[in-house]
Amino acid sequence: MKLRTTFGASGNTDPSTTAVTTITYSGFNSVFTQSPYALFSNYANPELKWERVFMFNAGLDFALRGNRIKGSLEYYRKKSVDLLALTPIDLTAGVGATLVKNSGVISGDGVDLELSSRNITGRFSWSSDFFLNYYKDKVIKNYNSTFNGRGRLNGNVSYTGFVGYPLYGMISFKWAGLDPNTGDPQGILNGAVSKDYNALMGSSLKFEDMVYHGTALPIFTGGLGNSFAYAGLTLSFRMSFKLGYYFRKNVLDYGSLMIGREGTADYANRWQKPGDELRTNVPSLVYPNSDLRDEFYWGSEVNVLKGDHIRMQYVNLGYDVRLPGGKKAAFSKFQVFVVASNLGIIWRANKEHIDPDFNGIPDAKSIAFGFKSSL
CA-based nearest residue to 84, from 105, 107, 100:
100
CB contact at 8 A, 190 and 200: no
300, part of any domain = yes
Domain count, the chain: 1
In this prediction, residue 42 carries a pLDDT of 79
Rounded Cα gap, residues 191 and 375, in angstroms: 77
340, part of any domain = no
In this prediction, the residues of the chain whose per-residue pLDDT falls under 50 are none
Q: Which phi and psi (to 5°) does residue 185 adopt?
A: -70, 145
What is the number of other CB atoms lying within 10 angstroms of the CB of residue 166? 22
361, part of any domain = no
CA-based nearest residue to 145, from 166, 165, 169, 161:
161
321, part of any domain = no
In this prediction, residue 160 carries a pLDDT of 76
Nearby residues of 93 by Cβ (< 8 Å), 6 or more positions away: 99
Q: Which phi and psi (to 5°) does residue 33 adopt?
A: -105, -10
* Strand ranges inside 89-167, DSSP E: 98-120, 124-141, 158-159
Q: Which phi and psi (to 5°) does residue 167 adopt?
A: -60, -40
Amino acid at 236: S
In this prediction, residue 120 carries a pLDDT of 92
What is the number of other CB atoms lying within 10 angstroms of the CB of residue 95? 15
Q: Which phi and psi (to 5°) does residue 268 adopt?
A: -70, -15
- What does the CA dihedral 165, 193, 204, 101 come to, rounded to 10 degrees? 20
In this prediction, residue 54 carries a pLDDT of 97
Amino acid at 126: W
Rounded Cα gap, residues 175 and 188, in angstroms: 7
36, part of any domain = yes
Nearby residues of 26 by Cβ (< 8 Å), 6 or more positions away: 36, 37, 38, 39
The string of DSSP letters for 216-261 reads SS-SEEEEEEEEEEETTEEEEEEEEEEES-EEE-----HHHHHHH-
In this prediction, residue 77 carries a pLDDT of 97
151, part of any domain = yes
Dihedral-angle region of residue 325 (phi above 0 means left; psi in -120 to 50 means alpha; beta otherwise): left
Q: Which domain holds residue 256?
A: 2-228+239-308
In this prediction, residue 143 carries a pLDDT of 76
342, part of any domain = no
Rounded Cα gap, residues 354 and 332, in angstroms: 48
What is the number of other CB atoms lying within 10 angstroms of the CB of residue 154? 11
Rounded Cα gap, residues 200 and 254, in angstroms: 19
372, part of any domain = no
Q: Which helix (H) or strand (E) holds 302?
A: none
Nearby residues of 332 by Cβ (< 8 Å), 6 or more positions away: 322, 323, 325, 326, 374, 375
Distance of CA 350 to the CA centre of its chain: 16
What is the number of other CB atoms lying within 10 angstroms of the CB of residue 264? 15
CB contact at 8 A, 95 and 89: yes
